[in-house]
Chains A and B, each alone.
Chain A
Amino acid sequence: MLNFLRNRGRSERELRQETLSAYLDGELTPAEHDRFEQQLAQNSDLRNELVDSQFWQQQMRNLPARRVPRNFTLDPVLYGPPQRQFWGSAYPALRAATALTAFLLVIALAANVYMSSFSTDAVSQAALVPALESAPMQAVEVEEAAPQEIVPEEGGALPEEEVTLEAEMVADQELPAAPPATPFALETYTDKESEAAEAPIEITGAEELMPAESAAEESVEEPKFSKQEEPLDEALREELAQSLDILEETSEPPLAGAREAVPTEVAEIIASEELGIEEVPPAANLSGQEEEMSAPMSNTSSAVNIPLSLGLEKLSIGLGLLLISLAILTFIAYRRR
Chain B
Amino acid sequence: MDEAALINKAQDGDLAAFNRLVITYQEAVYNVAYRIMGEPQSAEDATQETFISAYQALKRFRGGSFKSWLMRIATNACYDELRRRKRRPQSSLDRITEENESFAFLRSPDEGPEQAQQRLEMVKAIEDCLRELPDDQRITAVLGDVEGYNYQEIAGITGVSLGTVKSRMSRARSKLRDCLQGVKELLPASYRLTTNT
B82 lies within 8 A of chain A by Cβ: no
Q: Range of interface residues on chain A? A: 35 or more
Task: Mark out the residues of chain B between 123 and 138 whose CB falls within 8 Å of any chain A CB in the assembled complex.
Answer: 123, 126-127
Residue of B nearest to A86 (CB): B13
Contact: B163 with A74, CB < 8 Å?
Answer: no
B42 lies within 8 A of chain A by Cβ: no
Q: Which of B47, B146, B151 contacts A72 (CB 8 A)?
A: B47
* B 1-30 to A, binary, CB cutoff 8 A, 1 in contact else 0: 000000000000111101100110011011
- The smallest C-beta distance from B97 to any residue of chain A, in angstroms, reads 14
Residue numbers in A under 8 Å from B141 (CB-CB):
60
Residue numbers in B under 8 Å from A14 (CB-CB):
170-171
A44 lies within 8 A of chain B by Cβ: no
A66 lies within 8 A of chain B by Cβ: yes
Contact: A69 with B23, CB < 8 Å?
Answer: no
Contact: A18 with B167, CB < 8 Å?
Answer: yes
A38 lies within 8 A of chain B by Cβ: no
Contact: B40 with A69, CB < 8 Å?
Answer: yes
In the assembly, what is the distance between CA of A52 and CA of B195, in Å?
Answer: 12
Task: Mark out the residues of chain B between 94 and 129 whose CB falls within 8 Å of any chain A CB in the assembled complex.
Answer: 102, 105-106, 122-123, 126-127
Residue numbers in A under 8 Å from B127 (CB-CB):
63
Q: Which of A3, A18, A22, A67 contacts B27 (CB 8 A)?
A: A67
In the assembly, what is the distance between CA of A80 and CA of B19, in Å?
Answer: 12
Contact: B51 with A72, CB < 8 Å?
Answer: yes
Q: Which of B15, B122, B167, B169 contacts A74 (CB 8 A)?
A: B15
Contact: B48 with A56, CB < 8 Å?
Answer: no
Q: Which of B47, B144, B171 contacts A25 (CB 8 A)?
A: B144
In the assembly, what is the distance between CA of A187 and CA of B194, in Å?
Answer: 139
Residue numbers in B under 8 Å from A337 (CB-CB):
59
In the assembly, what is the distance between CA of A62 and CA of B48, in Å?
Answer: 25
Q: Which of B126, B151, B163 contacts A2 (CB 8 A)?
A: B163
Contact: A55 with B15, CB < 8 Å?
Answer: no
Residue numbers in B under 8 Å from A59 (CB-CB):
122, 126, 195
A61 lies within 8 A of chain B by Cβ: yes
A73 lies within 8 A of chain B by Cβ: yes
Residue numbers in B under 8 Å from A69 (CB-CB):
30, 40, 44, 102
Residue numbers in A under 8 Å from B26 (CB-CB):
68, 71-72
- The smallest C-beta distance from A181 to any residue of chain B, in angstroms, reads 88
Contact: B19 with A74, CB < 8 Å?
Answer: yes
B80 lies within 8 A of chain A by Cβ: no
* A 48-90 to B, binary, CB cutoff 8 A, 1 in contact else 0: 0100111111111111111111111110100111101100100
In the assembly, what is the distance between CA of A76 and CA of B177, in Å?
Answer: 47
Contact: A76 with B15, CB < 8 Å?
Answer: yes
Contact: A21 with B55, CB < 8 Å?
Answer: no
Contact: A63 with B123, CB < 8 Å?
Answer: yes
A153 lies within 8 A of chain B by Cβ: no
A21 and B173 in contact, given A64-B123, A74-B55 (Cβ under 8 angstroms): yes
Contact: A21 with B23, CB < 8 Å?
Answer: no
Residue numbers in B under 8 Å from A76 (CB-CB):
15-16
A67 and B105 in contact, given A73-B22, A80-B15 (Cβ under 8 angstroms): yes
A27 lies within 8 A of chain B by Cβ: yes
Contact: A58 with B151, CB < 8 Å?
Answer: no
Q: Which of B40, B123, B166, B181 contacts A27 (CB 8 A)?
A: B166
Residue numbers in A under 8 Å from B40 (CB-CB):
66, 69
In the assembly, what is the distance between CA of A107 and CA of B140, in Å?
Answer: 61
Contact: B151 with A60, CB < 8 Å?
Answer: no
Contact: A21 with B146, CB < 8 Å?
Answer: no
Contact: B105 with A70, CB < 8 Å?
Answer: no
| Interchain Cβ contacts under 8 Å between A and B, 28 examples | A14-B171, A17-B170, A21-B170, A21-B174, A53-B177, A55-B195, A56-B173, A56-B176, A56-B177, A60-B141, A61-B146, A64-B105, A64-B123, A65-B31, A67-B27, A69-B30, A69-B44, A70-B44, A71-B23, A71-B26, A72-B22, A72-B26, A72-B29, A73-B19, A74-B55, A79-B55, A81-B15, A85-B13
Closest 7 CB pairs of A and B: A81-B13, A18-B170, A73-B19, A21-B170, A60-B145, A72-B26, A85-B13
List 9 additional contacts besides A55-B195, A61-B146; criterion CB under 8 Å. Answer: A14-B170, A52-B181, A55-B196, A56-B173, A59-B126, A59-B195, A66-B40, A74-B18, A88-B59
